[in-house]
Chain A
Amino acid sequence: MKKEDTVKLISSDGFEFVVDKEAAMVSQTIRNMLTSPGSFAERQHGEVTFPEISTTILEKICQYFYWHLEFASGKDREFPIEPELTLELMMAANYLHT
């Protein structure tokens, strides 16, 4: 995996997720951060920190990114959501436009 094809997503507790850029860009918010012109640090370093999103939730979100890509390629299986995560996950999804 070439570095420029990936992006590092960092949770509030400092945990780092390295994911394909294509996956991360499922989120409209991350897409904007990585592509809009200007000197976003995110764009330069391929790193985005989410001080409001916990590791558990960010992991779930990364899973969703890949699930979304699979869906687009025709794989239709259920995306499991643990009931205790739903509210927090929903707020994050709302923030990430995902």
Chain B
Amino acid sequence: MTYFDYGNISSMGGACSRKQERNNEDGLCRGFSRKFCKCGSLKWWTSSFSYSSMDLRIQKGECPSLLDLCIQKISEDLDRHNTFSMLPRDISQQIFNNLVYSQRLTRGSLETFRDCALQDLYLGEYAGVDDSWMDVISSQGSSLLSVDLSGSDVTDFGLTYLKDCQSLISLNLNYCDQISDHGVECISGLSNLTNLSFRRNDSLSSQGMSAFSGLVNLAKLDLERCPGIHGGIVHLQGLTKLKSLNMKWCNCITDSDMKPLSELASLTSLEISCSKVTDFGISFLRGLQKLALLNLEGCLVTSACLDSLAELPALSNLNLNRCNLSDNGCEKFSRLENLKVLNLGFNDIGDTCLAHLKGLTKLESLNLDSCKIGDEGLVNLTGHKHLICLELSDTEVGNNGLEHLSGLSSLEKINLSFTVVSDSGLRKLCGISSLKSLNLDAYQITDAGLATLTSLTGLTDLDLFGARITDVGTNYLKKFKNLRSLEICSGGLTDAGVKNIKELSSLMCLNLSQNSHLTDKTLELIAGLTGLISLNLSKSRITTAGLQHLKTLKNLRSLTLESCKVTSNDIKKFRSIHLPNLVSFRPE
């Protein structure tokens, strides 16, 4: 299944200020910077960190292998070694990876890897990488398959070193702001490249893109946030193997840039969100028989583009969030029968439009965030037995509408935040035993509503951010043994309620911020939740003295204690002794 839709939905909802964040599709990745934030995406917290094989083994309680121990030892005494070129490649590769992971690799120690025939150099976001590293990088010669230099200071000159690395398959130059058209020219001969990533490059122009025409094996090209590429798409015309093209946030892209794409018969994924493309531009895509994913979020398209989209036989995943759709002309949705994922959030559409989705029974994910749909519209979804994910945040849906959803036996995620659904309506959800993720972030939801949901024992994610849950309500939480993520932030909890939460041993993300009665006792209570990765207790009475209870939370990566009696230095000090995995904390 694709990325953007589920990702958005899983982290959707919340107060208006938080919602704003989601306008930006990068919202997930900026979880660190949000203040009284939601837990953010659990997926992100659990997947974006790489471990060395040794750490993984130790985490699992397994014995480190002798090889791991040796690699560790070498990383520690790096200055004793002058070269690893006599080692078999797979070993020197492991040493290299370990050094990058442990942040021990420097320009000086990189020298030991000269001529090591390494295959993969993942130096993305690694501090200090610049042109002076390129000589050793290129010495890997034709062994080199994959290089990630994203976020580095490498310049056009540095890229000249890659000319001889003819085997390169994958090259990541995201956020390299010193690379321009001249640098792109240097890599134009790397015809084995299948994967090229060039995000956020202000200097890349249409002229520079002519260098891409030689990359005949390119399957995946990422040009997200490149503002100067308008007119250059024509150079991609001959790349008949191109399957995936990302031009999100390239607001220079217009209808004329769509024309060359009509030749790309292999294209399966095209993302042009937030560009200037209109219905006319979309008409050029008609011939793309394999196009399965199309992201038009924030484009100037209307329901008139549906005529063109209906001619894309493979289209299964369509993002039309924040477009200019209205009920007018939306009857053409009924032709898009193969859709599995459809995002229609933030459009001026209502129940009339929903009626035309009735036949789209293959849908697995439907996003109607902030649309004008109400209870009657939902009757059209009763036949959507494959629906896994339904986003109804900020709609006019109320208790009567939920009636129509009670038979959706595949439903795993539903977002009802900021709807008018109240306690009495929740009974209609209690039979959907497939539910895993439930967002009930709404003021009118109370303990009584929670009481009706205790049959949903499969729940893993429960968002009650603004719901008025008190200590009484926490008694019902005990039924949700599988909860990984929980948010209750309306101020009604005291330490007594946390006693019930401490039983939820699967929890990984816990947000109890804004419950101003919580004291250090809360920290003592949750000390047994050793799976916690993210914890937010902002605006509570937590003090520095309470931190000691967190010693046991060795997996903690994010700790937010804004507006508590805890200073940044207190957390830093505590982290250095007890919380080695803490990468994000507030106050910072």
Say whether, besides A83-B80, A86-B77, A68 and B70 are in contact (CB < 8 Å): no
Q: Give the contacts of B62-93 with A (CB-CB under 8 A).
A: 63, 65-67, 69-71, 73-74, 77, 80-81, 87-88, 90-91
Q: How far is the CA of A93 from the CA of B577 in the complex (A)?
A: 33
Smallest Cβ distance from A65 to chain B, in angstroms? 9
- A93–B74 touching, CB < 8 Å: no
Q: How far is the CA of A87 from the CA of B73 in the complex (A)?
A: 10
Query: When the two chains form the complex, which single residue of B73, B87, B90 contacts A83, counting CB atoms closer than 8 Å?
Result: B73
Question: How many A-B contacts if CB must be within 8 Å?
Answer: 43
Q: How far is the CA of A81 from the CA of B80 in the complex (A)?
A: 14
Chain B residue nearest to A82 in the complex (CB): B73
- B67–A90 touching, CB < 8 Å: yes
Chain A residue nearest to B58 in the complex (CB): A76
- A94–B73 touching, CB < 8 Å: no
- A89–B66 touching, CB < 8 Å: yes
Bitwise, A43-77 to B at CB < 8 A (1) or not (0) is 00000000000000000010010001001100000
- B70–A81 touching, CB < 8 Å: yes
Chain A residue nearest to B76 in the complex (CB): A83
Which B residues lie within 8 Å of A86 (CB)?
A: 70, 73-74, 77
Consensus secondary structure, chain B interface: helix
- Which of A68, A81, A90 has the most C-beta atoms of chain B within 10 angstroms of its own C-beta? A90
Q: How far is the CA of A83 from the CA of B69 in the complex (A)?
A: 12
The size class of the interface chain B forms with chain A is 10 to 19
- B66–A72 touching, CB < 8 Å: no
Smallest Cβ distance from B74 to chain A, in angstroms? 6
Q: How far is the CA of A64 from the CA of B80 in the complex (A)?
A: 23
- A94–B90 touching, CB < 8 Å: yes
- Which of B69, B77, B80, B91 has the most C-beta atoms of chain A within 10 angstroms of its own C-beta? B69
Q: How far is the CA of A69 from the CA of B301 in the complex (A)?
A: 66
Interface assignment of A41: CB less than 8 Å from any CB of chain B: no
Q: How far is the CA of A71 from the CA of B74 in the complex (A)?
A: 22
Q: How far is the CA of A71 from the CA of B73 in the complex (A)?
A: 18
Q: How far is the CA of A26 from the CA of B193 in the complex (A)?
A: 41
Interface assignment of A98: CB less than 8 Å from any CB of chain B: yes
- A90–B71 touching, CB < 8 Å: yes
Query: When the two chains form the complex, which single residue of A72, A79, A94 contacts B69, counting CB atoms closer than 8 Å?
Result: A79
Which B residues lie within 8 Å of A72 (CB)?
A: 63
Q: How far is the CA of A50 from the CA of B88 in the complex (A)?
A: 18
- B63–A98 touching, CB < 8 Å: no
Which B residues lie within 8 Å of A94 (CB)?
A: 67, 88, 90-91
Q: How far is the CA of A59 from the CA of B66 in the complex (A)?
A: 13
The size class of the interface chain A forms with chain B is 10 to 19
- A90–B65 touching, CB < 8 Å: no
- A81–B69 touching, CB < 8 Å: yes
Q: How far is the CA of A93 from the CA of B68 in the complex (A)?
A: 9
Q: How far is the CA of A98 from the CA of B63 in the complex (A)?
A: 11
Q: How far is the CA of A79 from the CA of B54 in the complex (A)?
A: 14
- B77–A93 touching, CB < 8 Å: no
Bitwise, A12-54 to B at CB < 8 A (1) or not (0) is 0000000000000000000000000000000000000000000
Which B residues lie within 8 Å of A79 (CB)?
A: 69
Which A residues lie within 8 Å of B70 (CB)?
A: 81, 86, 89-90, 93
Say whether, besides A83-B77, A83-B80, A71 and B71 are in contact (CB < 8 Å): no
- A71–B87 touching, CB < 8 Å: no
Which A residues lie within 8 Å of B80 (CB)?
A: 83
Q: How far is the CA of A71 from the CA of B66 in the complex (A)?
A: 12
- B69–A91 touching, CB < 8 Å: no
Smallest Cβ distance from B165 to chain A, in angstroms? 26
Bitwise, B498-524 to A at CB < 8 A (1) or not (0) is 000000000000000000000000000
Q: How far is the CA of A86 from the CA of B67 in the complex (A)?
A: 10
Which B residues lie within 8 Å of A93 (CB)?
A: 65-67, 70
Smallest Cβ distance from A96 to chain B, in angstroms? 8
Which B residues lie within 8 Å of A91 (CB)?
A: 87-88, 91
Which A residues lie within 8 Å of B65 (CB)?
A: 93, 98
- A90–B90 touching, CB < 8 Å: no
Q: How far is the CA of A97 from the CA of B90 in the complex (A)?
A: 13
Chain B residue nearest to A81 in the complex (CB): B73
| Nearest 8 A/B pairs, CB to CB | A90-B70, A93-B66, A93-B67, A71-B63, A98-B66, A81-B73, A64-B66, A83-B77
**Which B residues form the contact surface with A (CB < 8 A)?**
63, 65-67, 69-71, 73-74, 77, 80-81, 87-88, 90-91
